[in-house]
Amino acid sequence: MADPKQSEERLKDEGVALPEEIDKGSMCDEIVGSSGALQRVLSLVSKVAPTDATVLVTGETGTGKELVARAIHRQSRRSSRAFVSVNCAAVPRDLIASELFGHEKGSFTGAMQRRLGRFELAEGGTIFLDEVGELPVEIQVALLRVLQEHEFERVGGTRSIQTNVRVIAATNRNLQAAIAAGTFRSDLFYRLNVFPIEMPPLRERREDISSLLEYFIDRYARKLGKNIRSVSSRTLELFQSCPWPGNIRELQNVIERSVIVCETENFSVDETWLPRQPLASECKSQSDFSQKLAAQEKEMIEAALRESAGRVFGPCGAATKLGIARSTLESKIRSLKISKNRFKTCAGMLSADLG
C-alpha cells in the first residue's frame, strides 16, 4: 500500500486541491471509565474493530461517539491509513457532494481545479460520517451506492471510482423518527446499522465520574502548570449528583473552567456552573414523553425547512407546508433551537430577503 503522506504530496504536486485536514488527531484518544456500561461498549469495539463492518454509533451529544469511532480505527487493520472525519451537519448542503466525493475542474462555478473528496482521501482507511442524519436525501442515495457497490463518481465526473473505505457513522438523532418523517432513507439506515453501538449517557454510568474527574483535572492542571492534589468530597458529591445533559464534553468544560480559576491544591467547583437538577415533580415518564414529542416536532419542522430551503413564510415557506401560522413556527424554531440557516441553499439565500 502506498504511504498516505507520499500520495498526498504527489497529489499536491499535480495541483489537485485537498481539503485542509485529513485527520485532526488533536483529540486526546484515551477512553476513561470502568463502569459496566462503558466496558460493554469497549468490548463491542474490540470485537468489531478487526472486521470491515460498517458501524453506527448512536448516543446523546458529548457521550464519546467520535472517541469510539477513532478507537475502532486504531484497533483495525486500517490503523496505518487515514481516519477522515466529516461533520455532515457542518458542510453547506450545496457543497456536501463535492466534499465527500470530490469534483472535476469546471464542474460548477468556482471549481477552478480538480479536488479530491473525503472518500478518496480515506482510501484504504476509515471515514467517519458524523451527524449522518443531516445528510440531504440525494447524498443518502450516493452513500448507499458506496456501501453497496463500493463506488462513486466525482461531481461533474463520468467515471466511476472504486473505493475501499470503512464507514463509521454517528448520530445523536433518532433515525427511526427521521425515517418516519421521510427525511432519512430506511435502506440506508439498514446498511449503516450493520453493527450498532449505543453510547450510554453519563447519568447512566455515574461510577465513571470520579475517574473522569481525576483524569481531566490532571490533564488541565498539567496544561496550565498547576499543582492540584485533592478534590473536596463536597465537589465529588456535586459532580456525581449532576444530570450532565451535555455528558462528558460538559463535564470536561466545567473541570477546565474550574482548574483555570483554582488557586489552591484542593480542587473545588463553583456550584452555579453545574447543570441544574431536573425538578423533582418532573416525573421521568412525563419528561420522556415530552422529549419524544419535541424530537418528532423538530423532525417535522426540519423536514419542512429542508424542502423550503430554509424559508419560513410565503407560499413556498415551511409554515405553509406545515399548515401553521408563521409566528407559531418562528417560536417553535426558537424553542426547539433549530438553525434554519442550515437549510438555506445558495439559490434560497438570494431570494431569502423576498420572503
Ligand X SMILES: Nc1ncnc2c1ncn2[C@@H]1O[C@H](COP(=O)(O)OP(=O)(O)OP(=O)(O)O)[C@@H](O)[C@H]1O
By the criterion CB under 6 A, which residues form the site for ligand X?
27-28, 30-33, 59, 61-67, 172, 248-249, 252
SS3 at position 72:
helix
State the binding string over 130-149 for Mg ion (x if CB under 5 A, else -).
x-------------------
Q: Determine the angle formed by the axes of helices 247-261 and 208-224, rounding to 10 degrees.
A: 40
Round to whole Å and give the CA distance between 97 and 243. 39
Least separation in angstroms between CB 254 and ligand X:
12
Long-range CB contacts (within 8 A, 24+) of 24-32? 24/85, 27/66, 27/67, 27/70, 28/219, 29/67, 29/70, 29/71, 29/74, 30/215, 31/64, 31/67, 31/68, 31/71, 32/208, 32/211, 32/212, 32/215
The values of phi and psi at residue 173, to 5°, are -95, 160
Q: Which stretch binds Mg ion (CB under 5 A): 127-135, 179-187, 218-226, 280-288?
A: 127-135
Least separation in angstroms between CB 298 and ligand X:
16
CB-nearer residue toward ligand X: 64 or 117: 64
Round to whole Å and give the CA distance between 300 and 153. 31
Return the residues of window 66-85 that contact Mg ion according to CB under 5 A.
Answer: 66
CB-nearer residue toward Mg ion: 25 or 106: 25
Residue 151 has a CB neighbour count (10 Å cut-off) of 13
CB-nearer residue toward Mg ion: 169 or 309: 169
In the chain, count of helices (H) and strands (E)? 15, 9
Total site size for Mg ion, rule CB under 5 A = 2
Q: Could you tell which of ligand X, Mg ion, none binds residue 340, using a CB distance below 5 to 8 A set by kind? A: none
Return the residues of window 33-72 that contact Mg ion according to CB under 5 A.
Answer: 66
Q: Could you tell which of Mg ion, ligand X, none binds residue 63, using a CB distance below 5 to 8 A set by kind? A: ligand X
Dihedral, CA of residue 269, residue 272, residue 273 and residue 276, to nearest 10: 120
CA atoms within 13 A on the CB side of 266: 5
Q: Could you tell which of Mg ion, ligand X, none binds residue 28, using a CB distance below 5 to 8 A set by kind? A: ligand X
Least separation in angstroms between CB 172 and Mg ion:
8
CB-nearer residue toward Mg ion: 27 or 350: 27
CB-nearer residue toward ligand X: 64 or 125: 64
Least separation in angstroms between CB 301 and ligand X:
20
Residues lying near Mg ion in the complex (CB under 5 A): 66, 130
